[in-house]
A and B are shown apart, each in its own frame.
Chain A
Amino acid sequence: MKQSLFKAGLFCILFLGTTAVFGQKSVSTKVATKTISGKVTDAATRAPLAGVHVQAYGNDKFTAMTGEDGTYAIKVPEYVTSVAMQVEGYNLVQCAINKRSKGVDASLLSNVFVEQYQNRTLATKSTTAVGFDLSTDLSIEPQIEAKLGGDVRTITRSGLPGMGAVMFMNGLNSLSANAQPLIVLDGVLIDMQYNRSMVHDGYYNNLLSNLNVGDIEKVTVIKNGTAIYGAKGGNGVLLIDTKRNQSMATKIDFTMSGGFELTPMQPSMMDATQYRSYASELLGSTGTTLTEFKFLKVDKDYYYYNQYHNNTDWSKETYQNSFAQSYGINVQGGDDVADYNLSVGYTNSESTLKKNDFSRFNLRLNSDIRLFKNMTARFDASFSDVQRNLRDDGVTDDFTSSTVTSPGFLSLIKSPFLNPYAYDTQGRLSSFYDEADNYLDEVIGKNVSLANPSCILKYGDAKNKNSFSNNLITLAISPKYQINKRLYVSEHFSYTSVNSYENYYLPIKGVPTLTVDNNGTIYNIAKSLSSHQNGFFSDTKMSWNNQYGEHTIKVLGGARFINNTYNLNLQKGYNTGNDKMPNMSLSLYNKTTSGADDISRSLTYYANADYNYLEKYYLTGAVSMETSSAFGKEAKDGLKLGGVAWGLFPSIQGAWVVSSEPWFHSDGDIDYLKINVGYDLSGNDDINYTASRSYFTAQRILNSIDGLSIGNIGNTTLQWETTRRLTGGMDINMFNNKVNFQANVFKGWTSNLLTLKDIAFNSGLPNIWSNDGSLENFGYNVSINVKVLNSKKWKMEMGANVSHYENKITALSNNNKPFTTNIYGATVLTKVNSPVGVFYGYKTEGVYSTTEKANADGLYVITKTGTHQNFGAGDLKFTDLTPDGVINELDRTIIGNPNPDLFGNLFANLNCNHLTLNVVFNYSLGNDVYNYQRSILESGSRFYNQTTALTNRWTSEGQTTTIPKIQYGDVVGNGRFSDRWIEDGSYLRLKSLTLSYNLPMNNTYIKGFTVWGTASNLLTFTKYLGSDPEFSLGNSVLAQGIDRGLLAQGRTFTLGVRINL
């Protein structure tokens, strides 16, 4: 019964349009008309413009053209409220027909300015960025940051080439599931592999770096109306569209560029003398009974003297200034059978961190074929191949279980009195790299030895050692049948395949023997990874539209099916024998394999209806209905049909063009005013695909047999996270369209947060996945764009936008029990009424200068074994929030919030004849950063080189300083997670400065010639002490604002030419 009801309902939705088709008759030809006249001029010169196309807004049946004197007269139906005017070289303008005495005059702005009007107005809101031709970015995110930075909070992951950025929209809309927007590439919903394993530390497989930025036509941010993306649209949606041919003429573009990136700034580290003094002081706190140390001997004839008396800047061994080059050809053309756009490109970029180079080959064909009458088809194919070499990057999470393997970080902490090269028996420097250091063997033992970073770079260098390759293949066929002028059906079928391979090798030479995962002593590590992602996507759509006088209707409905599979095979083993045999093999010690084998499927029915009355009142309603293999069969809010649960996602948006109202005061300074409101319900389906089902997992028992045991108790009511969002906004153009002001506000409520909930102990499992907890986001985005200068020769435009969000957790699972998450030394608190991701640690009140002061407070810690340890002179004073004398977990409080108060960007464009200067700043204000790297470089508790700040360490009774005394092992925990490591991460950065010159050409062969130069990251204004205030160590919302010292972005200078043939 239910089923048949459902079928009936479905039928209704799908054929809403059809009935309309059958019922429709041609529109009555007799409508009352009025004549509108006016004059169109150039806004810069005031000269009349001839040949301007004038039409009733949104209705191409009523058009006119301006004459030589710029005047026009157009006969339009009585109900028409505005006209659109357009001519080549100028931006479109929409003018309201108010009760004017003289007529509808307009002055058009040159198309070097940002476009402000669209051909079609919708109730939904989106922002679009175009014009990536002069970009040499390896992936699109820096352009999103520069052009859409107010709409999308974009945080560059690291300075490694093509690493891209973490993006968030409308605040943070999830806790444990993915919170980043859905990426829709040419209409296909893409799985971005956000939480997939990689074998190099600090690396993320950014699929967007497989896309050539030059191939991208536009990027659109959908601000509301995301319900049509069902359970995938809750975090916002980004549409990326690649270029298609627009004209019949054949166009060939050749682009070539070369770039140079400067080594990013590094923390200022101590030199050999300073470090030697530090190390000798630290020795005193190890309790060693030795009295002589090789590296402290001052006798120049001593055998080891030379070995321990160097002054090495290790960063010179691992960092470099790097070069990049890029070549591309784009051929566009078409005839009455087909349009095509073919592009081929090659990019190669070194990294400022040595041996992290990137190269990419890409090929893309987008074609539009007219098969026969009314039948067209798109056929797109693309291939890209990325090759890299890689090394571990960043500060490791855990110093106790492994040795440091990241060359960049090693170069900071490695003792400067050592040399990368070995000394021979005569005490002469040789040309062979030195082994891992051993100057502490006699005191602490071998497990504190640090590797020679040069050896990791050199002996880890080979295709089968430390490399990554990745290819992305997409194929799409989209036939479309135009049944009549108003109705079409189409099918979009696409196949996406991503294959990634990664090899990891930590050499023997120059690396200490190490203990990994308690596996005893090992000499080297080999890992390999291969992963395959296949996406099958089908979208069947039907669309119908019509205009009934003042009513315009467009209805669209369809079904979308997605099948994604992902499998991963990861192998790891130790002790390959020697550095010439880096491969995984059966003989390796303690080999392990792990992997993933995920399938996710979803089916979505959707319908969307746009309606407008008088091109003044707009209404859009959309609804989608989605089921997914990840949902539980009895999903809580689900509609149970056909044995599965469906989520229902409706949305409604309305807009009102106030300026088109007859009563609107037209003599004022406001040319255009639109107000919109909307309500959306969408979801987040990033659920572990097995979480809703009970299953057994295998555990290798005694190295022989797989034991099967209950691994999960399925939650059959598991469902998507639900986000309801109310949006409002306005759009104003003023002073003859010279000023554009936009404001958007949103308030979002996310409930059913996916969370691990405690389950009764008698189940034998700690927890199960459930939907529990909720959070809220409120925010706004304001932007202003001013055409400052508009003369015949000089044109200048400036703009700024400001975004803000507030985020608050409103409910949590397990009866709102707060919980903490430890990430790279940080403790992140998740608590009701707190924002997501706040830092939870100790407050400090300076360093005790005297024993007397320390004793007066009498604070102590309880060590792991329960003994009391008092704070003494030179120790930090931690705030004893629960005044009981003991500094323990109860004394922690919120010490920082990584969420910014304000972020966005500023830009200016200056255009003079053929010369254009473009400047973009981006900024983030009020966000706190936990400087994890600094907490290691200034903790004074290990034999690691420290920053020069440590030269001010407390050393003697009565000394007043902010840096506590150094102590091996840090018994009282001066280096613990405290406000000492929390910094203001605010910054303002000159993101890019581009000067381009478009050489006028009048040649049969060459149609255009552009040279340009870009400087990126030229200036950064910040108080932040780390190398780069912009970084992200992971995709999780809880991992934001934690600086683990990934490669910083350097200043980049690029020169390029573009030739149009």
Chain B
Amino acid sequence: MHMKIKSILLAGLSLISMGMYTSCENMMDTTSNLVMFSKDNTLNQATDTVYSVMGIIGKMQAIADRTVLLGEIRGDLVELTPQASVDLQELAQFKVGTENVYNSAESYYAVINNCNFYLANVDTALKKRNEYVFMKEFAAVKTFRAWTYLQLATIYGSVPIITEPILTEAAANKVYPLYNIKQICNYFIDDLTPYIETPTPGYGAINGLDSKKFFLPTRVVLGDLCLWGERYLEAARFYHDYLTNITTQTNVVSTSLSQTIWNKDETTFSKMQNGYNYLFSTIGNVEIVSYIPMETTASEKGFSGLSNVFNSTIQNNYFYQATPSRKLFELSKAQSNCIVYSTNNKQDTLYAPTRNDVNPLWVGDLRLASVYSTKSDGTTINDGNPTTSSLYSSARQTISKLSTGHVLLYRRGQIYLRFAEAMNRAGFPESAFAILKYGLYQSNIDKYVDPVERSRAGILMYFSQYLFTPNNTLGIHSRGSGDAFANKNYVIPELPNQNDSINYVEDLICDETALETSFEGCRFFDLVRMALHRDDNLWLAQKIAERNGPANFDADLYKTVKERESWFLPLK
């Protein structure tokens, strides 16, 4: 009897234990409301993809400042103040080690890995109302990935290429093939080309921002890839197709007429109409094509610290760390500025004086004067901080290009300059020069571009006469250097051969990008690209070494930069 009871009890006990054991796998599989385990992130709901795409944008935020500073501080348009951090100084001196905070391939791969996960898992076959639901996002994510790889390649020279998501340690430790800039370009040109017709996604306004501009124009990224990949004609084609909106032939991307120019109704050159900085005053301006939307409060991860580098803020106690270089001042001053003065039916071309004692900056190209301003300390800012001079206050600098707090990736002026660069290298220097001097619309093209070159260019020089007109198109040089079209000093001289002309025009484009896109973070990359096209290290070294003005030529820097390895950061 007793035995029986025991046996029953023991059997029961063993059953309980067995039951406990067999369901172990499920039992030990816990869930969470705070994180989403990768197996649950299935990306087959419209909302899932929005969250994932915004996650990628969150990772873009992490590379925004870094990319701009790598492009700007290493260039020749800014120099550092004594307050600049050691990391920035290392950038400027081309002495970046693996410990430098701006050297982080990891943050670029964070964008890539999230893109890879999305691309590998999104259900592109899902159809609703006979439309592929995720196709737009799919293309947009591919474009993000290609753009990020292009940044990586141009920062590091050659980088491992990974197109599958890494979700295990083993996958992270695998050895991936290293691709150089050209290989990266070629790979992603093929990868992106099928999606040029796919429209950009848009989620309406997010926090008051047009979400369409968070995405990158696929054709422009392809243009960049081709330009870096030395496939100039294709590059020109992609830029042209983007600018003329080849698919719909509506909403063309024209330059607009915004410029900072001397008043045309007086001859004194004492007043100017500042229309250039208007392009940057709001992020909604049509000039701005795409940007990385940044957070508005400094405590958040995705807040841009660029204004603390370039501007006087409360956070940096008004001590900015970078300021326009003497080279930029000189370049800006050296531009010939003229206006077509018209009064009483008389027209005349007047050249602005090359010296201005009231406002020393108001000489030559006016774009720098338009976006850059200084104040001696404490004159107007009344924020409760001491107004008297002490160790703890500084002169104030403001670069209004950075006023939106977001980080620009593409804008019209810059795309036109890339188009010019591509056209020039593709063998159309006159067309390229026309972009700078006259602005592309049909009557200008007919008038100023050599007919032989024009016919060779074919569709590349076709700009619909209904859509591109004198009312919306301007030569880029005119944005700051007056009526450039009338400027007799601004011409391509007679040169022995076309190659010389191409190099001459490229120099003009190079200066134009300096005047047009300074402080936007593309300078060093532009210089590297052009130096690679010319295969001329010394050309680049010369420019960088003259950062503080030709009079302060930095021989040590020249020695460093003439070695191509110094252009790229050590990969870590």
- A residues sitting closer than 8 Å to B (CB atoms) are 6-7, 10-11, 14-15, 18, 21-22, 286-290, 441-446, 481, 483-484, 487, 489, 516-520, 540, 542, 559, 561, 590, 595-601, 603, 605, 627-629, 631, 641-644, 689-690, 693-716, 759-766, 768, 770, 862, 864-867, 969
Contacts and interface: CB of A to CB of B under 8 A. Distances in A.
Contacts of A713: 166-169, 172
A14 B14 contact: yes
A760 B172 contact: yes
B51 interface: yes
Nearest to B32: A597
Interface in B80-136: 82-86, 89, 104-114, 117
A603 B53 CA distance: 39
B30 interface: yes
A1007 to B, nearest CB: 44
Contact of B30 (A18, A483, A487, A600): A600
B20 A603 contact: yes
A707 B300 CA distance: 14
B54 A706 contact: yes
A642 B298 contact: no
B36 interface: yes
Contacts of B380: none
Interface string B284-298: 000000000101111
A969 B109 CA distance: 39
B301 A699 contact: yes
Is chain A's interface secondary structure helix, strand, loop, or mixed overall?
Answer: mixed
Given A694-B167, A695-B37, A765-B110, A601 B27 contact: yes
B57 interface: yes
Nearest to B43: A708
Contacts of A445: 384-386, 392
Contacts of A770: 169
B17 A559 contact: yes
Contact of B55 (A7, A442, A596, A707): A707
7 contacts: A6-B21, A14-B17, A15-B14, A690-B37, A694-B38, A708-B55, A766-B106
Nearest to B3: A22
Given A286-B391, A629-B29, A643 B24 contact: yes
B246 interface: no
Interface in B1-52: 2-3, 5-6, 9-10, 13-14, 16-18, 20-22, 24-25, 27-38, 41, 48, 50-52
Contacts of A862: 86
Contacts of A446: 384-385
B495 interface: no
Contacts of B30: 599-601, 629, 689
B250 interface: no
A698 B384 CA distance: 38
B58 interface: yes
Interface of B: 2-3, 5-6, 9-10, 13-14, 16-18, 20-22, 24-25, 27-38, 41, 48, 50-59, 61, 82-86, 89, 104-114, 117, 160, 162, 165-169, 171-173, 176, 203, 206-207, 209, 293, 295-303, 315, 384-386, 388-392, 571-572
A705 B35 contact: no
A951 B54 CA distance: 58
A629 B32 CA distance: 12
Q: What are the 6 A-B residue pairs with the smallest beta carbon separation, nearest first?
A: A643-B25, A518-B298, A764-B110, A287-B391, A709-B55, A707-B54
Contacts of A631: 28
A761 B162 CA distance: 12
B164 to A, nearest CB: 11
Contacts of A706: 51, 54
B295 A703 contact: yes
B31 A762 contact: no
B386 A444 contact: yes
A211 B29 CA distance: 33
Nearest to A558: B17
B109 A761 contact: yes
Nearest to A645: B28
Contacts of A766: 106
Contact of A519 (B53, B160, B299): B299
Given A708-B36, A762-B172, A518 B299 contact: yes
A288 B296 CA distance: 34
Contacts of B117: 710
Contact of B34 (A483, A595, A715, A865): A595
Contact of A542 (B13, B41, B59, B385): B13
Given A627-B24, A762-B172, 8 more contacts: A446-B385, A517-B298, A695-B38, A701-B61, A714-B167, A761-B571, A865-B83, A865-B84
Given A702-B295, A707-B54, A865-B82, A599 B388 contact: no
Contacts of B31: 599
A601 B55 contact: no
B114 A642 contact: no
Contacts of B388: 288-290, 442
B37 A694 contact: yes
B113 A710 contact: yes
Given A596-B34, A643-B24, A969 B391 contact: yes
Contacts of B14: 11, 14-15
A764 B17 contact: no
Contacts of B84: 865-866
A597 B300 CA distance: 22
Nearest to B17: A559
Nearest to A862: B86
B51 A702 contact: no
**Which among B54, B82, B113, B303 has the highest number of chain A CB atoms within 10 Å?**
B54
Contacts of A695: 32, 35-38
Given A444-B392, A559-B17, A709-B56, A763 B51 contact: no
Contacts of A487: 6
B207 A704 contact: yes
Contacts of A628: 28
A590 to B, nearest CB: 6
A601 B26 CA distance: 11
A345 B21 CA distance: 43
A708 B28 contact: no
Contact of B52 (A484, A708, A864, A867): A708
B167 A710 contact: yes
Contacts of A6: 21
B17 A690 contact: no
